[in-house]
A and B are shown apart, each in its own frame.
Chain A
Amino acid sequence: MANLASTFVGIKSPNPFWLASAPPTDKEYNVRRAFEAGWGGVVWKTLGSEGPPVVNVNGPRYGVVYGADRRVLGINNIELITDRPLEVNLREIKSVKRDYPDRALVISLMVPCDEDSWKDILKRIEDTGADGVELNFGCPHGMAERGMGSAVGQVPEYIEMVTRWVKKYSRMPCIVKLTPNITDIRRPAEAAKRGGADAVSLINTINSITSVNLDTFAPEPTIDGKGTHGGYCGPAVKPIALNMVAEIARSRETAGIPISGIGGVTTWRDAAEFMALGAGNVQVCTAAMTYGFKIVQEMISGLSQYMDEKGMTSTAELVGRAVPNVTDWQYLNLNYVTKAVIDQDACIKCGRCYAACEDTSHQAITMSADRTFSVKEEECVACNLCLDVCPVEGCITMRELAVGELDQRTGRKVATYANWTTHPNNPAAQAAE
């Protein structure tokens, strides 16, 4: 079996699956059970400053988006940071870490944006035995109204400033957790790097309204007739998170900074995808909140099996493997030509490919009286939509045309690699000539 042991910014854990800072990590009881279930590490639920803790709403905190059969696709929340006293959390962190020295235990922090507040909290956590800190610059609701969370994470200068304070007053590894509620994720990542961060983690939740109650005309979750925007997470946010992770991994300014991948990780496969795009490990929240801690067992067995099949002996061999293949549109090979092929034996004759192509694409599929669907190569632009909507896996495939083969649509032979930068239709390319 592949060895899943992971070292992230010097923090060791038996596997790369950590629980993200959120309700699953809000107390000793949960975290002990998570470790018993097999989680490699946790980022403790975000701690605030000393003093009276924050209060949460006492009505519903979550909104949900369902797929078929009430499968949870996304959750949004209006929860704040921990609402338990600081001393209680610190005492519990210490006790858990003492009993589970082999697991990663990172403390998430969010305090007001002044040097003394950060200096003070860092001192308070010093003797817990925790392995590192994560700076929560992401929470998009509630705390942001008070100048914390994403209010900091949206201003690169603040990120850099706070990160510097943390590095100044603490020797612990410092992970900066980024908010996706920003136009270009590379700017806050660069700021974190300038401030001396050891790693970034992303994404925190996405600002959202999950649904509107059409009887009461209020967003959900609804508190006494009103609702507010909350943070969206779960499988629905994974594509957004993957892109942001990849952007940081391939940007010249931030390449090489360790990344903890977060956002919709639900299965071993999701985790492997984040890692291939450059994440050194992953953090999970919604999947655990939906199915319980036991899911980590599938993640462990699945990733090991995959790595065995690929002949990988350590997670380091997987991390970043896909990064070189993430590029800009302008470098894509415009001479790469494919055509849809329908496997008539596998076809169940639903006609979804036909409806999709005929109504919304390129009229490249014909339908006969006996419901045989065939591709007109002379019309097919290879958009892939037919394959995407076909309910039968593997029924429609894209055939790659060899160099030199005739493309029926253009009437030209397939040529070798060439991209937009040199394409005759590109005014910039012509100007360069």
Chain B
Amino acid sequence: MTNSQLTPGVAAGRLGAEDYARNFADIAPRFAPHEARVAADRCYFCHDAPCITACPTSIDIPLFIRQIATGTPEAAARTIFSQNILGGMCARVCPTETLCEGACVRETAEGKPVEIGRLQRYATDTLMEAPSHPFARAAATGKRVAVVGAGPAGLAAAHRLAMKGHDVTIYDARPKAGGLNEYGIASYKAAGGFAQAEVDWLMQIGGIVVEHGKALGRDLTLEGLRAGFDAVFLGMGLAGVNALRAEGEDKDGVANAVDFIAELRQASDLSRLPIGRDVVVIGGGMTAVDAAVQSRLLGAENVTIVYRRGKARMGASEHEQDHATQSGVRIIHNAAPVAVHGNGAVREIEFAYTQDTPEGLKLTSETFRLRADQVFKAIGQTLKGAPDGLAIEGGKIAVTGPGRTSLPGVWAGGDCAAGGEDLTVTAVAEGRDAAEDIHAALVGTGG
């Protein structure tokens, strides 16, 4: 193709084939065995370790690191998977700088934590390459559980339930399982088709059936599921997106960041994915960073993130913000969009500077415009299609304890449920804990 980074408008093939390969390659490849040993040797094996507390799934991190250090990464992986069956994906996508590594005492001591995430990946990758699945099912209970959503929450719940001997049917609206692991996470974090490989690996436990293209509210009702199964787990994530509420939002070239990312994740040939020369991303979270960085990696010349509040309020961690700026993304703080200009398609977007006042965010009279061939909205996802009759709290399904909703026999976890951060690891923890609670309820052992 003859396109380049300077080609005006929205165009595909701005880069050479090897640029795409390099840009979307594994961002933090697996440690070689020696690297892993060296990194593992740095762990102090803390008493009641702070990293364990900081991990939403409470993986026994010092134990698994010691197992790596003593040459048994497979045993390390079992330690990880027994708490977090998506330990492989978490090792790749967890914002470890704010979780386990942020709590590492070596971060306190020398500003350089033990590389827990990469060690976790070393262990999990090693075991996942082994020919057999590390967990076996308990004797069949004859109980059946419906899981809505094959994202991290649903998969973690399903695996735990299957392990306990229950039969699980997962219903997912999309054609592939994995949820945002498959459709949302930045490509370079889960390179090499890892999301599907992980789903396949997890399914080896047996007893789990996935029905694709089945949406709750469209093809299924909660009443139907409650009637047909012994328990229901809702792990449907946040399928809706917030609106910008700026004039001209409906112009061509304005899209949801999550849709752009999903398209990118599913593209079989990135050189055929069109991207603007000038791209503006609106938002301040992980989605905004991922959309902006991947726009740059596709060859956009100028990519700007505009966030309505100050740097400290951004949802994306310091590490992620640095990753964005190092990828050539410019971040503008304290500005909100007021109008999208252009004749049919977006050409410019106009912002007003904001002021964070005690009464809330106020627009000032000072405005500026940015050139834009594409505008990606990353201002938050919302719960969509929650069945009637469920109590809602703060826009999410209200839960108590391990994911119990207001309806008997219905549990919820992950992004769709209230409480916890919207992270893969949190979804796994909530799915797992709900499964344990469902199991206790079904076999009548307390809980």
Interface residues in chain A, defined as those with a beta carbon under 8 Å from any beta carbon in chain B: 68-70, 348-352, 354-355, 367, 371, 391-392
CB-contact partner of B41 in A68, A349, A352, under 8 A: A68
Pairs across A and B, CB under 8 Å, 15 listed? A68-B42, A69-B37, A69-B38, A69-B41, A348-B108, A349-B105, A350-B105, A352-B44, A352-B45, A352-B46, A352-B47, A355-B47, A371-B48, A391-B44, A391-B105
Q: How far is the CB of B4 from chain A (nearest CB, A)?
A: 46
Are B109 and A348 interface neighbours, CB within 8 A? yes
Given contacts A69-B41, A350-B105, A352-B47, 8 further A-B contacts (CB under 8 A): A68-B41, A70-B34, A348-B106, A349-B46, A350-B47, A355-B47, A371-B50, A392-B109
Give chain B's interface residues, CB within 8 Å of chain A. 34, 37-38, 41-42, 44-50, 105-106, 108-109
Chain A residues with Cβ below 8 Å from B49 are 350-351
Task: Verify A391–B109 contact, CB threshold 8 A.
Answer: yes
CB distance from B45 to the nearest CB of A (A): 7
| C-alpha gap A350/B42 in the complex (Å) | 13
A350, B38: Cβ atoms closer than 8 Å: no
Bound complex: CA A73 to CA B425 (Å): 40
Q: How far is the CA of A415 from the CA of B223 in the complex (A)?
A: 82
Contact A68-B47, Cβ < 8 Å, known A391-B109, A392-B109: no
- Whether A350 and B41, one on each chain, are in contact in the complex, defined by CB atoms closer than 8 angstroms, is no
Task: Give the residue name and chain of the B residue nearest to A390 (CB).
Answer: B44
Which partner residue on chain B sits nearest A358 by CB separation? B47
A371 partner residues in chain B, CB cutoff 8 A: 48, 50
Which A residues are in CB contact (< 8 Å) with B41?
A: 68-69
CA A348 – CA B109 in complex, angstroms?
Answer: 6
* A70 cross-chain contacts in B, Cβ below 8 A: 34, 37
With beta carbons under 8 angstroms apart, the residue of B38, B45, B47 that contacts A354 is B47
Task: Tell whether A349 pairs with B38 under 8 Å between CB atoms, given A354-B47, A391-B44.
Answer: no
- How far apart sit A292 and B393, CA to CA, in the bound complex (Å)? 69
Q: Which residue of A lies closest to B110 (CB)?
A: A348
Whole-angstrom CA separation of A141 from B330 in the bound complex: 69
Residues of A with C-beta under 8 A to B37: 69-70
Cα distance, A70 to B108, chains bound together (Å): 26
In angstroms, Cα B103 to Cα A371, docked, is: 12
**A367 contact set on B, CB distance < 8 A:** 47-48
Min C-beta distance of B398 to chain A, whole Å: 29
Of the candidates B47, B48, B105, which one forms a contact with A348 in the assembled complex, judged by CB atoms under 8 Å apart? B105
A350 touches B34 (CB 8 A): no
Residues of chain B contacted by A351 (CB below 8 angstroms): 46-49
Give CA–CA (A69, B39) in the complex, Å.
9
CB distance from A360 to the nearest CB of B (A): 12
Shortest CB-to-CB span from B144 to chain A, Å, is 43
A349 touching B108 by the CB < 8 A rule?
yes
By a CB distance below 8 angstroms, the chain A residues around B47 are 350-352, 354-355, 367
Measured between C-beta atoms, what is the minimum distance from B105 to chain A in Å?
A: 4
Q: Within 8 Å CB of B38, what residues of A?
A: 68-69
Determine the chain A residues whose CB is within 8 A of the CB of B48 once the complex forms. 351, 367, 371
Contacts of A350 in B (CB 8 A): 44, 46-47, 49, 105
The 9 A-B pairs of least Cβ separation, nearest first, read A351-B47, A68-B41, A355-B47, A348-B105, A350-B46, A350-B105, A348-B108, A348-B109, A350-B44
Least distance between A351 CB and chain B CB atoms (Å): 3
Closest to B46 in A: A350
Nearest to A68 among chain B residues (CB) is B41
Residue of A nearest to B41 (CB): A68
CB distance from B332 to the nearest CB of A (A): 38
Cα of A85 to Cα of B37 in the assembled complex, Å:
44
Residues of A within 8 A of B106 (CB): 348
**Smallest CB–CB gap between A344 and chain B, Å?**
13
CB-CB nearest in chain A for B38: A69
Chain A nearest CB, measured from B267 CB (Å) = 42
CA distance A348 to B46 in the complex (A): 10
Question: With A and B bound together, what is the CA distance between A68 and B48 in angstroms?
Answer: 23
Report A-chain residues with C-beta under 8 Å of the C-beta of B109: 348, 391-392
- Shortest CB-to-CB span from A288 to chain B, Å, is 25
B297 CB → nearest A CB, Å: 35
Residues of B within 8 A of A348 (CB): 105-106, 108-109
- Closest chain A residue to B47, Cβ basis: A351
* Nearest CB in chain B: distance from A418 CB, A: 37
A420 to chain B, nearest CB (A): 35
Counting chain B CB atoms within 10 Å of each CB, the highest count among A348, A349, A350, A354 belongs to A350
Return chain B residues, CB-CB under 8 Å to A68. 38, 41-42
Nearest-Cβ distance from residue B110 to partner chain A, whole angstroms: 9
Interchain CA distance A15-B438 in the complex, whole Å: 76
CB distance from B69 to the nearest CB of A (A): 9
Of all chain B residues, the one with the shortest Cβ separation from A391 is B44
Contact check, A349 vs B50: say whether CB atoms are below 8 A apart.
yes
Chain B residue at minimum C-beta to C-beta distance from A349: B105
A346 nearest CB neighbor, chain B only: B109
CA distance A68 to B35 in the complex (A): 11
Q: List residues of chain A with CB within 8 A of the CB of B108.
A: 348-349
What's the least CB distance linking A216 to chain B, in Å? Answer: 16
Chain B residue at minimum C-beta to C-beta distance from A69: B38
Most buried by A among B37, B47, B108: B47
Measured between C-beta atoms, what is the minimum distance from A346 to chain B in Å? 9
Q: CB-CB < 8 A to B50: which residues of A?
A: 349, 371
- Cα distance A392–B44 when bound, in Å? 11
Name the CB-closest residue of B to A395: B109
The residue of chain A having its C-beta at the shortest distance from the C-beta of B53 within the complex is A371
**Residue on A with the closest CB to B103?**
A349
Tell me the complex Cα distance, A69–B45, Å: 17
**How many angstroms between the C-alpha atoms of A68 and B34 in the bound complex?**
11
User: Closest CB-CB distance, A94 to chain B, in whole Å?
Assistant: 46
Return chain B residues, CB-CB under 8 Å to A391: 44, 105, 109
Residue from A348, A352, A355 whose CB has the most chain B CB atoms within 10 Å: A348
> CA of A69 to CA of B34 in the docked complex: distance in angstroms?
8
Residues of A within 8 A of B44 (CB): 350, 352, 391
A392's nearest neighbour on chain B, judged by CB, is: B109
- Separation in Å of the A347 CB from the closest CB of chain B? 9
Task: Report the separation of the CA atoms of residues A430 and B47 in the bound assembly, to the nearest whole angstrom.
Answer: 45
Q: Once the chains are docked, how many angstroms separate the CA of A352 from the CA of B105?
A: 11
* Neighbouring A residues of B45 by C-beta, 8 Å: 352
Q: How far is the CA of A257 from the CA of B140 in the complex (A)?
A: 80
* Residue of B42, B105, B108 with highest tally of chain A CB at under 10 A: B105
Expressed in whole angstroms, the Cα–Cα distance for A351 and B47 within the complex equals 5
Residues of B within 8 A of A352 (CB): 44-47
A355: chain B residues within 8 A (beta carbon): 47
- In the complex, what's the smallest C-beta–C-beta distance from B104 to chain A, in angstroms? 9
Determine the distance from Cα of A349 to Cα of B108 in the docked complex, in whole angstroms: 9
Q: How many angstroms from the CA of A268 to the CA of B105 in the assembled complex? A: 32
Residue numbers in B under 8 Å from A392 (CB-CB):
109
Cα distance A349–B49 in the bound complex, in angstroms:
9
User: B109: nearest residue on chain A (CB-CB)?
Assistant: A348
Q: How far is the CA of A68 from the CA of B114 in the complex (A)?
A: 14
Closest Cβ–Cβ distance, residue A355 to chain B (whole Å): 4
Bound Cα distance A68, B44 (Å): 12
**Docked CA distance A405–B105 (Å):** 36
Q: Which residues of B sit under 8 angstroms from A69, Cβ to Cβ?
A: 37-38, 41
Q: Nearest CB to that of B69 among chain A residues?
A: A68
* CB closest chain-B residue, reference A365: B47
- Complex CA gap A371/B53 in Å reads 12
Q: Which residues of A contact B34 (CB under 8 A)?
A: 70
In the complex, what residue of chain A is closest to B34 when comparing beta carbons?
A70
In angstroms, Cα B53 to Cα A351, docked, is 14
Q: Which residues of chain A are within 8 angstroms of B46 by Cβ–Cβ distance?
A: 349-352
State in angstroms the CA–CA spacing of A371 and B52 once bound together: 14
Bound CA–CA A371/B45 (angstroms): 15
Tell me the bound Cα distance from A167 to B57 in angstroms. Answer: 75
